[in-house]
Copies of this chain bind each other. A is one copy, B any other.
Amino acid sequence: MKLLQVDTLQEAREKLLQAAGQVALQTETIPLAASLGRILAQDVRTEEPIPSFRRSSVDGYAVRSGDTAGATENIPVFLEIIEEVSIGKPSTVPIRPGTCAYVPTGGMIPEGADAMVMVEYTELFDPEHVAVNAAVSSGKYMVDIGEDMPAGTQVLARGTRIGPAQAGALAAAGVAQVLVYRPWKVAVLSTGDELVPVEQVPGPGQVRDVNTWALCGCVAQCGMEVAEARFLADQEEALEEAIRRMAGACDLLLVSGGSSQGKKDMTMELLDRISGGGVFTHGLALKPGKPTILGCAPQTGTILAGLPGHPSAAVTVFCLLFQWLWRQVTGQPEALPVPARMETNLASAAGKTTCLPVRLIPRGGELLARPILGKSGLITILSEADGYILVDMKREGLKKDETVQVYRYF
């Protein structure tokens, strides 16, 4: 057995990033309608200027602004109406001095005109003439060609997660087919003789399999794809066969297991064996998350992970390592933490990073961070949390009222 030296969170992240870099991230082109939640694999620019025509922003008359000089309610200016522009149709008649055209909001302003007069400042004199009661300056109430976005403007950057507004922006830019990253295929394997399926009432010594469900949720929530998920008893040959087979068919294999020494050793042994000695992290200076094993199978580039058996620890490690890694490789911006004030003092162990789940409580315009404590690895610790704080390994705790940065789990 190898000499065991734990990595810091930072060291583990660097090793993972290097391992992930050995395999090119794949992209695929999908219809806009299927793109919600996906990650853009290229910058998107608008080819045409937006708007592509001079657009009115009010209901009214397109005029030559010079014609309205000095117009007031008492001394209006009379203009001949030479066209009624319809929404969605080109204007056809240029505006000469002394003439105008009716244009609704969003309609195209005819050539020759350089401003709009709102209908509220006009009075129809006869079907062919309008009285203008106010002067307008050039450019008033109109949007010029490309004023919103000149042609070639970057609308969205590579690494953007496509939400509702981004889907709209893609539509505006005419992107009907979207180049996105192909999600990593992730296999999830929970191991343990104590595990029973969710439908079963656990007997003495048994517990329900929780990690498969929680980890599959993590994978999907990050925008990756669950390739296979199951749990297995601790039978070495069967485990090795399953791990070999699953690792060959996925980009990331998550094996979660018990916390006993024998279990940890067996997972490490198996991952090291199938990767030909590819395990590079034999534990993390992280609480919870110490029994984390990381490696890479060099033939396929599959990333291998042994996660803690405690559900809350397994989810924590997933978020800190694999959610982080997927964001990194796809160019997504770093998650933005929320500042909050600690509600209480809290001790933490120096020498390891502590990931502390908290509730956020609004109080007087601020947010208070209330630690969620629990001695076990209960999943409900996380299901009650609004986010987590990372306590630096150099710190020995957090002080009441100090400002902390709270990250969302997803």
Residues of A participating in the B interface, judged by any CB pair closer than 8 Å: 32-33, 36, 48, 50-53, 57, 59, 85-91, 104-108, 119, 143, 147-149, 155-156, 160, 162-172, 174-176, 192-195, 197-218, 220-221, 233-234, 258-263, 309, 311-312, 315, 336-339, 360, 362, 365-367, 374-376, 378-380, 382-383, 385-386, 403, 405, 409-410
Specify which chain B residues have a CB less than 8 angstroms from the CB of A155 in the assembled complex. Answer: 380, 383
Q: How far is the CB of A323 from chain B (nearest CB, A)?
A: 10
Interface contact B172-A311, CB-CB below 8 Å: yes
- Which one of B209, B233, B403, B409 contacts A365 once the chains associate, using CB atoms below 8 Å? B403
Specify which chain B residues have a CB less than 8 angstroms from the CB of A378 in the assembled complex. Answer: 50, 148-149, 172
Known A51-B207, A201-B48: A169·B260 in contact at CB below 8 Å: no
Q: How far is the CB of A50 from chain B (nearest CB, A)?
A: 8
CB-based nearest B residue for A119: B261
Interface contact B165-A379, CB-CB below 8 Å: yes
CB-based nearest B residue for A405: B365
Interface contact A260-B104, CB-CB below 8 Å: yes
* Alpha-carbon distance A409/B53, docked complex (angstroms): 31
Q: How far is the CB of A221 from chain B (nearest CB, A)?
A: 6
Specify which chain B residues have a CB less than 8 angstroms from the CB of A315 in the assembled complex. Answer: 164-165, 168
Specify which chain B residues have a CB less than 8 angstroms from the CB of A215 in the assembled complex. Answer: 164
* Alpha-carbon distance A375/B327, docked complex (angstroms): 33
Specify which chain B residues have a CB less than 8 angstroms from the CB of A202 in the assembled complex. Answer: 48, 52
Q: How far is the CB of A105 from chain B (nearest CB, A)?
A: 4
* Alpha-carbon distance A124/B193, docked complex (angstroms): 25
Specify which chain B residues have a CB less than 8 angstroms from the CB of A362 in the assembled complex. Answer: 336-337
Q: How far is the CB of A102 from chain B (nearest CB, A)?
A: 11
Interface contact A216-B108, CB-CB below 8 Å: no
Interface contact A311-B217, CB-CB below 8 Å: no
Interface contact B209-A171, CB-CB below 8 Å: yes
